[in-house]
Chain A
Amino acid sequence: SQQGEEDPQALSIQEGENATMNCSYKTSINNLQWYRQNSGRGLVHLILIRSNEREKHSGRLRVTLDTSKKSSSLLITASRAADTASYFCATVLYNFNKFYFGSGTKLNVKP
């Protein structure tokens, strides 16, 4: 990966459970974003957290950022079968010219 790595690579849970995926990155960033990709489709932006923020919420999504550890986590609460997708973190450098994506976490939510 050019910048970030997600962990785990794959996650399988039951509907109603929470899903947590992590992202680690290498260099200083302006912000970190999470995207979702349904199989074979384009990525869709979910949430953005800036380098001076520690936590952010959007609906059932909660994102945390620890710049000292260069890591972020995405929590999806009360998961649904429709949440089945791959989730990618993207780190945005200060010049905003490069969005570096990790290799993704493949989430399978069983009904």
Chain B
Amino acid sequence: DSGVTQTPKHLITATGQRVTLRCSPRSGDLSVYWYQQSLDQGLQFLIQYYNGEERAKGNILERFSAQQFPDLHSELNLSSLELGDSALYFCASSEGQRNEKLFFGSGTQLSVL
């Protein structure tokens, strides 16, 4: 058990809808990273937060947004969902800003029908 909790584990929704994925980092970790894993594109970095502030952005679509709350949990919001957004979404956490290892949650499997 990595100590990173993601909910829900599975999510099935329809095109055009909006969903929220939640991540609780390991106790004491200040950095949260979001990744998207799909069959044809591997693991894509979306966004990173450190202690409530956005620190880095990857290939995150404008329809997606995220935030990290004062209690350090993070939420990834996906809106106007398309079939191609179906993927496994991972959250990972690490202790500080200069991080040497990531701890991954077990992911949220999103299916857009």
Q: What residues of chain B lie closer than 8 Å to A59, measured between beta carbons?
A: none
Interfacial residues, chain B to chain A (CB-CB below 8 A): 2, 4, 33, 35, 41-45, 48, 55-56, 58-59, 88, 90, 92, 97-107, 109
Which residue in chain B gives the minimum CB-CB distance to A102? B42
A35 to B100, CA, bound (A): 12
Which residue in chain B gives the minimum CB-CB distance to A6? B42
Which residue in chain B gives the minimum CB-CB distance to A42? B104
Given contacts A2-B59, A104-B42, contact A43 B101 (CB under 8 A): no
Q: What residues of chain A lie closer than 8 Å to B101, measured between beta carbons?
A: 33, 45, 48
Contact of B99 among A2, A41, A96, A100 (CB under 8 A): A96
Residue A52, interface by CB 8 Å: no
Chain B proximity of A21: nearest CB distance (Å): 14
Which residue in chain A gives the minimum CB-CB distance to B109? A40
Q: How many residues of A contact B (CB 8 A)?
A: 25
- CB distance A96 to B97 under 8 Å? yes
Contact of A43 among B44, B55, B102 (CB under 8 A): B102
Given contacts A31-B100, A42-B4, 19 further A-B contacts (CB under 8 A): A2-B58, A42-B104, A42-B106, A43-B43, A43-B90, A43-B102, A45-B103, A88-B42, A88-B43, A92-B99, A92-B100, A96-B97, A97-B55, A98-B48, A98-B56, A99-B45, A99-B99, A100-B45, A101-B42
